[in-house]
Structure 1
Amino acid sequence: MQRLHGEKLRLCKALESIADALPNVDRFNCLVTANSIVPLLRDTHLFEETVIFPVYEDALTLQEADFASIRRLRTEHIEDECFADEVTEQLLGIGHGRPVENAEALGFMLRGFFESLRRHVAFEHEHVMPRVIFADPQTRAFDTGKPTSR
């Protein structure tokens, strides 16, 4: 999960760099970035929803077990993937030679997307990861590099 968070944050940095350079962007960088967005989010979300979230839910106490946070995170995954499609479409167009017609609007779009991703990563890092690490000995061993008895 830490590796995936790092990849998401690197994506955010790349998107921020593009937004900061508008309207004079590196077209090749737009293509490279655009082609990484959807696969990264799809793979990350699948891993989180099938591996991380079940461990997190199991680690919650009865008082915490309304699972509202997990429902919100799953909803954010859907929203992020829809937004990712729009961002990808814009960056691919620019990468293939379409002019940046409205730099302010595109910058606003990019910033909205990467700031949302950063907030999502921050929440998972602060709230989900500590529970998962302490709940699952296999995860603890993976993070520390120590073998487990499992």
Structure 2
Amino acid sequence: MKRAHDEKLRLCDALERIADALPGVDRLTCLRTANAVVPLLRSIHQYEETIIFPAYEEAVVGSNANLASTRRLRAEHVEDECFAGEVTEILLAIGHGKTVENPEAVGFMLRGLFENLRRHIAFEREHVLPMIGIVDAA
């Protein structure tokens, strides 16, 4: 899980660097990031939903924790993957030479995705992982 979080945080850092560099962003960086974002998220989300969330749900049965948390986290996965698809399209266009006509809007979009991902990770580190005995030091 620590590796999954580290990979997502590296993706967040890459998206943030792109957002900060707009409109003069490196095209190759955009292409690399575009090609990584959706497969990375899908892989990590599948792992969380098949391994981590069931362990968490089992651990919280009979405790004060709320099972609605995993339903919300699963819904966030769907939203993040949809959002990542949109970000991929933008990054591919930039990577293939399309002019960034509205850098503020593109930056806002990139920030929206990486901020959501960072919040998701923080929640998992603070609430989910401790319940299943995983210490994921930030």
TM-score between both structures, scaled by the size of structure 2? 0.94
My pick for the range that moved more, 102-111 or 63-72, is: 63-72
Partner of 1:39: 39
1:18, 1:25 within 8 Å by CA — same for their partners in 2? yes
Q: CA deviation at 1:64?
A: 3.0
Is the aligned partner of 1:109 residue 2:85?
no
Q: What do the CA deviations read for 1:93-138 (whole angstroms, capped 9, x no partner)?
A: 100111111100000000011000000000001111111226xxxx
Aligned-pair RMSD on alpha carbons? 1.5
Partner of 1:92: 92
**C-alpha distance 66-122 of structure 1, shift in aligned 2 (>3 A):** closer
Describe the SS at the equivalent of 1:133: coil
The structure 1 segments of at least 4 consecutive aligned residues displaced by more than 4 Å after TM superposition are none
Partner of 2:58: 58
Describe the SS at the equivalent of 2:23: coil
Q: What do the CA deviations read for 1:27-62 (whole angstroms, capped 9, x no partner)?
A: 000000111100110000000000000000011142
Q: How many residues align?
A: 136
2:87, 2:110 within 8 Å by CA — same for their partners in 1? yes
Partner of 2:4: 4
Q: Quick one: distance in 2 between partners of 1:99 and 1:64?
A: 52
Question: Residue type of the partner of 1:26?
Answer: D
Q: Quick one: distance in 1 between partners of 2:14 and 2:103?
A: 16
Q: Quick one: distance in 1 between partners of 2:119 and 2:27?
A: 27
- Which residues of structure 2 form unaligned runs of 5+? none
2:73, 2:120 within 8 Å by CA — same for their partners in 1? yes
Q: Quick one: distance in 2 between partners of 1:115 and 1:131?
A: 24
1:57, 1:65 within 8 Å by CA — same for their partners in 2? no
| Bigger radius of gyration among the two | 1
Q: What do the CA deviations read for 1:48-89 (whole angstroms, capped 9, x no partner)?
A: 000000000011142435411001000000000000000000
TM-score between both structures, scaled by the size of structure 1? 0.87
Q: What do the CA deviations read for 1:3-34 (whole angstroms, capped 9, x no partner)?
A: 00000000000000000000000000000011
- Aligned-pair identity (%): 67
1:80, 1:113 within 8 Å by CA — same for their partners in 2? yes
